[in-house]
Amino acid sequence: MPRAADTAYATLRQMILSGEAAAGSRLGEAELAETLGLSRTPVREALQRLGADGLVEVLPHRGARVVRWSRADLEEIFELRALLEPYAAERAARRRPDAAVLAELTALCDAMERSGDPAEIARLNSAFHGAVIDASGNRRLPALLTSVMHAPLIVGTFRRYDAGALARSMNHHRELVAALTAGDPDWAGSVMRAHIRAAAAGPISEEE
Amino acid sequence: MPRAADTAYATLRQMILSGEAAAGSRLGEAELAETLGLSRTPVREALQRLGADGLVEVLPHRGARVVRWSRADLEEIFELRALLEPYAAERAARRRPDAAVLAELTALCDAMERSGDPAEIARLNSAFHGAVIDASGNRRLPALLTSVMHAPLIVGTFRRYDAGALARSMNHHRELVAALTAGDPDWAGSVMRAHIRAAAAGPISEEE
DNA sequence: CTGACGGCAATTGCATGCAATAGTGGCAAA
DNA sequence: TTTGCCACTATTGCATGCAATTGCCGTCAG
């Protein structure tokens, strides 16, 4: 039986990412505790962790709220991704990922191209990028990027993609796998950079 | 009156950074609670936050320990600093920091060159880098870098510096201020990159 | 003598009661 | 009518008791 705090964390995280907990909405400890069938203590710990992840903001004596992303936030986040993820791709290519990892990445590409559901695609996309980051060999990168990886999910980048942009994104993924297979750091890094910049161009230019 | 959890966090953080709490040592909740004159609840919250910062590792049902840095950890950390801090310096130069920030940086340089105490220098150095990161305008960078900024403090990079390396470090700081004053992003980024690489060369090549 | 099994102590994890704080609404005075 | 103040309420923060899990140590079989 897992720890109650972990289940609370996972549940709340899912609620936020799925949009069930709207941005800006208040997250009362007592209310969540009742909903999840737990006491306030594990809920409180989960909110702390989500605050550290940047998914909620906790103000002293004022509780927790789901963060609302401004356009400036998205710009900052895509800048950081454009910095860190190409680095991860370069390192991964230099390390020559083993066949199992490459097969996993290819499988994720297949699944993404097959699926039509934006939410499903977003999840597979996260898994893809996470696998590349893991393949970089730097064990600190995953933790660093969790705080900036889920933002596009909330905003729903993939919903804004038209058919052309979506196809381009898929092609980027395929090309990245090729670059990793070839073990070409510069190629892999460049593709990843283009991939992030292309993703940034959509949501940032619009709304708010 | 500040929150007890915050004081616990600040105290424990200071204990770890100063070396009072040795690397690998166990941090029992009850023991710390008694020492700090608090209950276990705020201590527990502080340990969670320190765990998110990467300063301690918390294992389920097994408590918290001060993390012990391996040579591989230091390599990873300096790689990330070499990526993120030059970016921060570039952005800061592009934004043209106002006179107050430049004066603060200069004052920190003065204080560092005046001081002879390694611990004092380390603190001033942290303040200097923190100010540059703040000047970048990206409000997410500080949080990202906290998890990798304190590692050199624990290892005590400055203790390993001979007189020549120390002087070079000071010169880097001065040059960085000049580059920021000139508003030259490429210059600022290059100096910062050299600064980090030079700092990495020392501790990584030795010990463990 | 070595290995495994079982009970035991210590510590974390969770629940709940109480205190403290911030937001809110009403009331009174200008 | 508006503004400032005060009490009230709802919520967070902290303390403490109890349950659950882990690691340890002694014992016993092989």
CB-CB contact of B177 with B150 (8 Å): no
CB B2 under 7 Å to nucleic chain C: no
CATH number of B4-66: 1.10.10.10
Give the Cα-Cα-Cα angle A198, A200, A204 (nearest 5 degrees). Answer: 135
Instruction: Tell me the chain B residues in contact with residue A60 when contact means C-beta distances shorter than 8 Å.
Output: 3
Q: Are B54 and B64 in contact (CB under 8 A)?
A: no
Q: Name the residues contacting strand D (CB < 7 Å).
A: A 1, 27-30, 40-41, 44, 58, 60-64; B 3-6, 38-42, 45, 61-62
Order of strands, sheet of B63-66, starting from the edge strand that comes earlier in the sequence: B26-27, B63-66, B56-59
Minimum distance, in Å, between the CA of residue B36 and any CA atom of chain A: 21
Q: Where are the domains of chain B?
A: 4-66, 71-205
Nearest by Cα to B192 from B75, B80, B81: B81
Q: How many Å does it take to go from CA B110 to C1' D23? A: 53
- Closest-approach residue (CA) in chain A for B53: A52
**Among A54, A75, A76, residue whose Cα is nearest residue A66:** A54
Supply the DSSP symbol for A58: E
Query: In this structure, how many other beta carbons lie within 10 angstroms of the beta carbon of residue B110?
Result: 12
CATH architecture designation of domain B71-205: Up-down Bundle (1.20)
In this structure, are residues B176 and B188 in contact, taking their beta carbons and an 8 Å threshold? Answer: yes
Q: Give the pLDDT confidence of B185-204 residue by residue, as tens digits.
A: 999 999 999 999 998 876 55
| Mean pLDDT, residues B155-182 | 90
pLDDT in 10s for each residue of chain A, 208 residues: 689 999 999 999 999 998 999 999 999 999 999 999 999 999 999 999 999 999 999 999 999 999 999 989 999 999 999 999 999 999 999 999 999 999 999 999 999 999 888 888 988 999 999 999 999 999 999 999 998 888 777 777 787 788 888 999 999 999 999 999 999 999 999 999 999 999 887 655 544 4
| A127's tokens | 């898994």
Q: How many other CB atoms are found less than 10 A from the CB of residue A37?
A: 9
Q: Is the shortest CB-to-strand distance from A5 to strand C under 7 Å?
A: yes
> What residues in B contact A49, CB-CB < 8 Å?
48, 52
**Distance, Å, B168 CA → C29 C1':** 69
> Looking at per-residue confidence, does B61 or B204 come out higher?
B61
Query: Which single residue is written with the structure tokens 């004053």?
Result: B181
Of the CA atoms within 13 Å of residue A140, those in its CB half-sphere come to 24
